[in-house]
Amino acid sequence: MAEHYDVPGKVVLITGAARGIGAEAARQLYAKGAQISLVGIEPELLEQRARELGARAAWFEADVTDTEALHGAVDATVERFGGIDVVIANAGIAPIGTVATIDPEAFERTIEINLLGVWRTVRATLPHVVARRGYILPIASLAAALHMPLMAHYAATKAGVEAFSNSLRGEVAHTGTKVGVAYFSFIGTDMVHESFEEGPAKLLRENTPGPVSGVASVESAGRAIVRAIERRARKAYAPRWVPIPLALRGVLQPLIEKQNHDAIEQAVKLTDAEAPARAEQPLAERATSE
């Protein structure tokens, strides 16, 4: 029989909570009775989200690349709510680029936020979550299993998040704390919509067969997170078909590479040609947060 973990009254800290998956998970969990700590780098949006939710929500400005600020947000959460039961390590970015021509700052910033940011978030919250025998849910991606061109940096971080979470699960099992991993395909966030507006990404998507190229609603991702928390599950998925490509990752990777050979070549050439112009943009405009 599946475990049931009562959400009402639980304290949930969410990074990357100003928009997208983080904001939607906050909304759905608040509706279930949780107390919500919204953590992120957009104070105006965070304040708005907290005000929209109500008295059981609070917001704290912190960048997951800043260890001191992140610990400050964790301490403030504990002071406000008395502890932390659940942490959702969601903050992430996804600039487009090939290994040969991507701005090194964008590549390394992706690793800093998407992978090291998860590590910093978990490390800062771990004593509090373990004290309550709670639940840790880092947000990975279908990109942890299917590694698409133009996204080497993003795919590497999400594969790293998957591995990190699986290792952590064994380390804390004796405490009664549970660890999951969230695997999402394309979700209708600002990050995904802006990425699809770029010619190379649009070209690859149009030439990728099957449901992998589709975009699911942010509400479906929020529901998957709520289900995972209520069960303290090993995995969360959205859309529901995601377990199939995860199970077939060894088969699908070479198949997609073969079927998309011509489109990949075109997308790479287009990306490399656009790289100088993209590098002149501020990084914030090239790497929208999840």
Tell me the catalytic residues.
154
Distance CA 243, CA 184 (A): 10
Count of Cβ atoms closer than 10 Å to residue 3 Cβ: 9
Q: Which of these, 75, 176, 184, lies nearest to 138 by C-alpha position? A: 184
Nearest to 92 by CA among 140, 43, 60, 46: 140
Helices vs strands, H then E, count in the chain: 13, 8
DSSP string, 115-155: IIHHHHHHHHHHHHHHHTT-EEEEB--GGGTS--TT-HHHH
> Rounded to an integer, what distance in angstroms lies between the CA atom of residue 128 and that of residue 123?
10
Considering Cα of 116, then 118, then 121, then 122, what sign does the dihedral take?
Answer: negative
Rg for the chain (alpha carbons), in Å? Answer: 19
Helix (H) or strand (E) holding 290: none
